[in-house]
Structure 1
């Protein structure tokens, strides 16, 4: 709570400073418009209006997120995009996009890769949502522009920074049940071309479970009490500082640094009940970047960026054990990524845009528990040419050549065609994807014990890189008041890297004990299988997306998004549904906004509906569900220099909860603890 009070103190002190420098300007904060045709950058690599990009892009704006009461990255994706799903755990949120998991999704911040993963799950708590202007999501393979990992899609987080002379200080706090608290504080200054943007974000939640009982291992009927959480609580902090300098209309420079800290908050081990843990997982990240852009003309520019991203996590003991005292920290994994980018955007003719670029990336991994100390680099050069062939007909051709230290050279082409008569858009896309196996997949040698059960994973240095071919057809109708889009796609992946279970016999049991001397005979005797990274034959993802957004009348907007996804992997002669995939999902949001003088009311009803989630092996499928949330915001232009926005809402209106007993055969898709009241307050002072 001291952090919370400190944050409010910063707001009050900064607000006093702002008060002393007030100019007589109108706030008009209660006014808002709903833009169905925003500017985007991710699809083509340069700024365009959404309806003009030849590659469809989904845009999640900060305004939509605020009106739906969303303060977290995973909340933004799952509430607003049916093709995205999330499974939280102490090892990081497992994100899926279009049926494919984290390692196939490239997450960028202003076009630069976010590194630092936990078991192939990027630590999403490192994303400072208080700075997000919009989130752009590009479905399908995009390796021609973005390189390795962009097979399922690209999520590009665009941050906000004022570019007009001003100073503002703000605080945004939201509280709900089970100890959920998010708070952000920001101080923005822009004067005579110089900008300084300071932010702090605190996020926390308590652990919980929805059933106090679990099935006793090996029994279908006998139960026992447990405190093992369904949702793992945590405390997270992010501190960020960014500087910009724009001395003239041609040159813009920037530099920034972000520090993130997260620690889990789980029940401690107890002798009278099962499910506690001896330690918490602790995560730290430090990311800094410098860059700049020089614009020769409105259509010709060159930009360069360099980023260093460090991330590590491990175990911090809060229970004394035979080998560790309370407070001991045992590092599990340390990563470092360095990346340099150079890109030229050129308007060589009146009706074309050409991009040339080069990337250099080096990644380091030190995993104590996995016995890895390795690094790898890659070099890439790419080119893309977008041109108008005939009236209303635009084509884009792109090609990327990647040299990977371990896997040699790979070409990844891209071709799109867009026919745009009037308000209609018809698009066809082909793009290739490429993903080099990660250092952990190559070299892992991992042993741990979870609730008395030994868990072992082996890397495989004989792995081949994964390659994909993505095909999509899109039809769209877009006006200022209505946007309707239908997309059908097929994504075929060769040599998918998967964790396959290898059965344990007496010979392999002896091998495992030799490899891991710390394993006891009892743990070895109980082992049924261990995990080995291998290439499966191929994966096959096909689906249909439908999106409708309409301004039905003044102040009222309705959006409906639906996806059908069918995802399989093939190994030998057997097709298997992909783990954690689902066939049907939809999101709905109805939003009403009206202003009366200096007061404005926004009412938002949103819901997510999805069919059952598929699990493989001995796990049973998780049932489908429907979640509905109601959120209201009340905006007040208190003065020309002050803006106040209290909010109140209800998450999970119909109290939908998965209360199935925990067992060795059950996993989950729904993690909500039930109906919760959500209240918030946003305060902003500016000159």
Structure 2
């Protein structure tokens, strides 16, 4: 590790000296949007659109090049060039070390040894409700309507509250800007995976409207054919209908949107189960913005996300509600910009969560409620042209665990073509209702018992990054440490009642501390006008400081890469992209402490059962068959998992193997 850090320091120093001697002669090169398609596909000079507007790191609009909070962006151009299957596909091929697996409850994510609950998923700045089991259901999101995906690592609780400890992913959606626009798309691949996706929108005078429809169905797949009654991914169907409205009048803007999502996960043909899941999700968002002057605006918003899961009895086709997960948020945000170099935001927020579960919380109580009240503020100060400082904090009062204080400070120094960023932020994660209130028998295995006295998990995040940009070359090195205290752990405990009868209980407690250190190297390079290359390497050392073992599921080394060639063939625009990612072996160490019956000494035994390293590759070809003005017809096709890698034994990846795909997109 010391050699690696020395190499990075030498690389940064060399580039700095090169810039000092030779770096004043060349102007900045710009990536300009393609006015024909609305996507940033035509690269005129620059490898990346550093003028892209991002909002996640500061809750205010800043260009990617000038945000002091390190932000990674998956652009609309990347999404289109790779024709990703869904949000999961886009994240997995772009964020090194990120792992997915799905079950009937939703999509489980793990990165840096941290699971779902330490990652915050947002859509246009609002958090998605989780499924009753805890995961996120990404199938409810249409990729065609995504403008870009913004990713910030580390603690972001000062802006977004609970769960923003490990990573925050903000999915930014599109808004119509013409009198009539839209698209219709169909996509098909192996396992009868069929997507229908359409939208129509208008921006006429003061009114903006957009209607979206998305449907996906698949037959599921099985990596263990010796047990055909249970699939690795069960068959399912998803449908999403969304309506957006906006009204603008002088200095007033009102927006509203509603989403209805329906999903059904069925059983494979040879299954002996008599039940399956059917779920629906309703989302409502209303926002009112008032501009008092060019430098002052007040924004009030309501957000509600309501998820319901039902059990379907196949013999009678009757339905029974078994769980719900509801989130509601009220927020007011005041933004004041007294000068071009100073901006301040302040706000208040109230979050209300209600969870119902037919069995989770005991026989008498079926519904659990928690809420939190928040006040937050942030100042963004461009002290001098080379120095930008952003500082802020959040005060939270949670109805169960009490109070939390989450400060942050970020600094960016910009000499020439360099960007040096650094910062500190504190994060927290409130215990979830399962950890607080569980009271049920898990089959014959254990009695699961929550702990209402749990403390919030808290983190301290430090990072430093250096970025160098010059002509067709961009390189950045990021180093960080994330220390998490009071990690909540579940453990089996054998207890005896008054009659001496033993029972196994699963209990929750604050016992673990974790320390995660790492570095990430990002390189963008354009060796020729028609070729763009991108590569990322991530190193992660994720340690449980109580046992001195790596966190289960951690991957020490991970690469992701993306190469695109764009040209004209037979007078048609086309691009060919090769993307992939490689993960080193997944750590799965288990500690067992026993007492030697002869000596009385404590013996620590560590069992290692690593999951093998693997890589997945994806090839995509996109061709514009016809284009006139804003109207065009695109076709795309490709291969996912080119080398047909599967792991039906240890499930290093849940990928089902090689599959060809094709799609047709008509835009107007």
State TM-score, norm by structure 1. Answer: 0.84
- Contact 1:536–1:570 (Cα < 8 Å) also in 2: no
Please state whether the residue corresponding to 1:76 is helix, strand or coil.
helix
Per-residue Cα deviation, 1:339-387 (whole angstroms, up to 9, x for no partner)? 0111122212331111111111111111111124121211111111121
**What does residue 352 of structure 2 align with?**
362
Provide the secondary structure at the position in 2 that maps to 1:674.
Answer: coil
Q: Please give the secondary structure, in 2, of the residue aligned with 1:441.
A: helix
Structure 1 segment 306-455 matched on structure 2, within 5 A = 306-318=302-314, 325-371=315-361, 372-449=366-443, 454=445
| 1:120 aligned residue (134, 141, 145) | 134
Q: Are 1:534 and 2:509 an aligned pair?
A: yes
Gaps of 5+ in 1: 1-25, 214-224, 271-275, 319-324, 513-528, 661-665
Q: Work out the CA distance in 2 between the residues paired with 1:676 and 1:393.
A: 49
1:681 paired with 2:654, answer no
| CA–CA separation in structure 1 for the residues paired with 2:482 and 2:330 | 29
CA distance in 2, matches of 1:137, 1:334: 28
Q: What is the deviation of 1:631?
A: 0.5
1:622 is displaced (CA, Å) by: 2.1
How far apart are the structure 1 equivalents of 2:586 and 2:65?
Answer: 34
Residue 29 to residue 470, structure 1, CA distance change in 2 (3 Å): closer
Confirm or deny: 8 A CA contact 1:207 1:266 kept in the other structure.
no
CA contact under 8 A between 2:412 and 2:421: conserved in structure 1?
yes
User: Which residue of structure 2 aligns with residue 20 of structure 1?
Assistant: none
Distance in 2 (alpha carbons) for counterparts of 1:348 and 1:597 = 55
Q: Identify the residue that residue 636 of structure 2 maps to in structure 1.
A: 647
- In structure 2, the residue matched to 1:82 is 96
The verdict on how the C-alpha distance between 1:91 and 1:616 changes in structure 2, with shifts beyond 3 A counting, is farther
Give the Cα–Cα distance (whole angstroms) in 2 for the partners of residues 554 and 562 of structure 1.
Answer: 25
Per the TM alignment, residue 675 of structure 1 is displaced from its structure 2 partner at its CA by: 1.2
**Counterpart residue number, 1:637:** 626
2:484 to 488, 493, 500: 493
- Report what 1:558 is aligned to: 533
Is the 1:423–1:478 contact (alpha carbons within 8 Å) kept by the matching residues of 2? yes
Q: In the superposition, relative to structure 1, how do residues 460 and 390 fare at CA in structure 2: closer, same or farther (>3 Å)?
A: same
Cα deviation digits, residues 595-627 of structure 1 (max 9, x gap): 369621110001110012223558933212111
1:246 maps to which residue?
A: 248
SS in 2 for 1:348: strand
C-alpha offsets along residues 622-661 of structure 1, whole Å, 9 cap, x if unaligned?
212111111101113344463100111111111112142x
Distance 2:500 2:198 in 1: 54
Question: Is residue 222–residue 228 contact of structure 2 (8 Å, CA) maintained in 1?
Answer: no
How do residues 186-205 of structure 1 correspond to structure 2 at under 5 angstroms? 186-205=199-218
Q: Distance in 2 between matches of 1:118 and 1:95?
A: 16
Distance 1:242 1:597 in 2: 39
1:181 to 188, 194, 205: 194
Distance of 1:370 and 1:67 partners within structure 2:
44
- Pick closer, same or farther for the CA change 1:29–1:107 going to 2, 3 Å: closer
Question: Which of 158, 162, 165 is the aligned partner of 1:151?
Answer: 165
Whether the 8 Å CA contact 2:246–2:254 is kept in 1: the answer is: yes
TM-score (norm 2): 0.86
2:615 paired residue among 608, 617, 626? 626
Equivalences, count: 610
> Would you say the 8 A contact 2:234–2:268 is kept in 1?
no
**SS of match in other structure, 1:77:** helix
> 1:35-114, aligned counterparts within 5 Å?
35-37=48-50, 38-114=52-128
User: Could you tell me how far apart the structure 1 residues matched to 2:553 and 2:218 are?
Assistant: 24
Shift of 1:209: 1.9
Is 1:482 aligned to residue 473 of structure 2? Answer: yes
Change (3 A) 1:193 1:669: farther
1:230-262 CA distance string (max 9 Å, x none) = 2333211111100011223x3322100011111
Q: Distance in 1 between matches of 2:310 and 2:550?
A: 33
Name the residue aligned to 1:524.
Answer: none
Corresponding residue for residue 181 of structure 2: 168
CA contact (8 A) 2:97 2:583 kept: no
Question: Aligned-pair distance for 1:537?
Answer: 3.0
* Native 8 Å contact 1:268 1:278 kept in 2: no
TM-superposed deviation, 1:179? 1.8
Contact 1:306 1:341 in 2 (8 A): yes
Where do 5+ consecutive residues of structure 2 fail to align? 1-34, 591-606
